[in-house]
């Protein structure tokens, strides 16, 4: 199966080591083009090229950028970065938590058409096509606006075969609410990645989602900043799920935005916490999984095979 990336089509079997949920640059709808002084675009591009080149040297071959309209998706930046790195960058259609109020005035079919156009024709004025559909549900659960987005994503997924990636509040188990809607819509759940699933160690909740065929996005790594499970606890949950036979249902990522609007103190604090940025998994996390008993084929299932199956 051919997958849309910033630089054209790539076969799903050639994705290789894939970071399943990341961001090159995050802001808000309208910021990149209207309030552009808040972003230093040249710095964003240079920083992304540098970070992705280092990651490539450490084995990363594909990078899923799940930045939507309401997270300040900027096609010019994504395209410039894509032209300058040897990493497949998959970009997203869909809507995250900042759902524009006007979405309440459209129906799921109307919104699905927009997602399908971004998948089949291109995003903004570019010919770059979306390779993934992003949606998000907070701990409030499925709101009226969120339900429109979830149903639209389901219909676009069924129409195009492009998979869905979700943001969840895992402690509130909202992955179950998302799956209930996708099941109602008749989505193939092997095309559904339930993101931020490693914010909980509730094995019953996680095994339930994996048993239905969903992929568990273990994508807050290292995670734990400001509380919550630390990264070794997150690793232990994965190891237990692998022992239970779910090694083909787990994807890894950092959910690390390479750039934010200008606020250097925040950026410094974040980099102090995770100096490895998008190389944390290759430098610290995988060695720890192996030290704790996983073998290389089990690790390859998490970082290579799962992406090939999900996108394929």
Residues that bind Zn ion (CB under 5 A): 255
Q: Annotated catalytic, 33?
A: no
Closer of 74 and 255 to Zn ion (Cβ): 255
Closer of 279 and 294 to Zn ion (Cβ): 279
Q: Annotated catalytic, 220?
A: yes
Which of 129, 173, 191, 220 is catalytic? The answer is 220
Closer of 219 and 247 to Zn ion (Cβ): 219
CB of 286 to Zn ion, least distance (A): 21
Closer of 242 and 252 to Zn ion (Cβ): 252
Q: Annotated catalytic, 196?
A: yes
Which of 23, 129, 191, 254 is catalytic? The answer is 23
Q: Annotated catalytic, 191?
A: no
Q: Annotated catalytic, 268?
A: no
CB of 24 to Zn ion, least distance (A): 11
DSSP symbols for the chain = -EEEETTEEEEGGG--SEEEEEBS----TTHHHHSGGGS-HHHHHHHHHHHHHHHHHTT--EEEE---GGGT--HHHHHHHHHH-SSEEEEEEE--SS--GGGGGS-HHHHHHHHHHHHHT-STTSS----EEEEE--TT-S-HHHHHHHHHHHHHHHHH---EEEE--GGGTHHHHHHHHHHHHT--GGGEEETTGGG---HHHHHHHHHTTPEEEE---S--TTSS--HHHHHHHHHHHHHTT-GGGEEE----BS--SS-HHHHHHHHHH-TTGGGHIIIIIHHHHHHTT--HHHHHIIIIIHHHHHH-
Closer of 165 and 298 to Zn ion (Cβ): 165
Q: Annotated catalytic, 254?
A: no
CB of 47 to Zn ion, least distance (A): 17
CB of 27 to Zn ion, least distance (A): 13
Which of 21, 129, 173, 254 is catalytic? The answer is 21
Which of 129, 134, 173, 191 is catalytic? The answer is 134
CB of 22 to Zn ion, least distance (A): 7
Q: Annotated catalytic, 23?
A: yes
Which of 129, 196, 254, 277 is catalytic? The answer is 196
Catalytic residues: 21, 23, 134, 167, 196, 199, 220, 255
């Amino acid at each position: 199966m051919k997958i849309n990336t910033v630089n054209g089509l790539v076969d799903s079997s050639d994705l290789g080591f894939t970071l399943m949920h990341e961001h090159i640059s995050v802001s808000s709808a309208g910021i990149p083009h209207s309030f552009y002084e808040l972003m230093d675009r040249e710095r964003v591009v240079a920083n992304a090229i540098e970070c992705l080149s280092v990651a490539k040297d450490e084995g990363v071959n594909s990078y899923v950028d799940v930045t939507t309209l309401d997270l300040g998706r900027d096609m010019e930046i994504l395209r410039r970065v894509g032209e300058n790195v040897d990493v497949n960058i998959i970009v997203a259609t869909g809507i995250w938590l900042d759902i524009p109020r006007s979405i309440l005035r459209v129906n799921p079919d109307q919104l699905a058409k927009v997602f399908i156009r971004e998948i089949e024709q291109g995003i903004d004025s570019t010919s770059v096509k979306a390779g993934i559909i992003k949606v998000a549900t907070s701990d409030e659960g499925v709101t009226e606006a969120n339900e429109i987005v979830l149903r639209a994503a389901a219909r676009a997924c069924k129409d195009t075969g492009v998979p869905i990636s979700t943001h969840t509040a895992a402690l509130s188990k909202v992955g179950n609410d998302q799956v209930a809607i996708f099941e109602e819509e008749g989505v193939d759940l092997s095309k559904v990645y339930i993101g931020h699933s490693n914010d909980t160690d509730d094995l019953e909740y996680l095994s339930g989602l994996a048993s239905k065929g969903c992929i568990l996005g273990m994508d807050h790594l290292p995670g734990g900043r400001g509380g919550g499970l630390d990264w070794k606890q997150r690793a232990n949950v994965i190891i237990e799920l692998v022992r239970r036979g779910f090694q083909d249902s787990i994807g890894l990522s950092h959910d690390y935005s390479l750039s934010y609007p200008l606020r250097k103190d925040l950026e410094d604090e974040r980099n102090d916490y995770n100096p490895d940025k998008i190389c944390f998994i290759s430098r610290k996390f995988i060695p720890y999984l192996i030290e704790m008993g996983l073998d290389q084929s089990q690790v390859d299932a998490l970082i290579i095979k799962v992406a090939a199956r999900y996108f394929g």
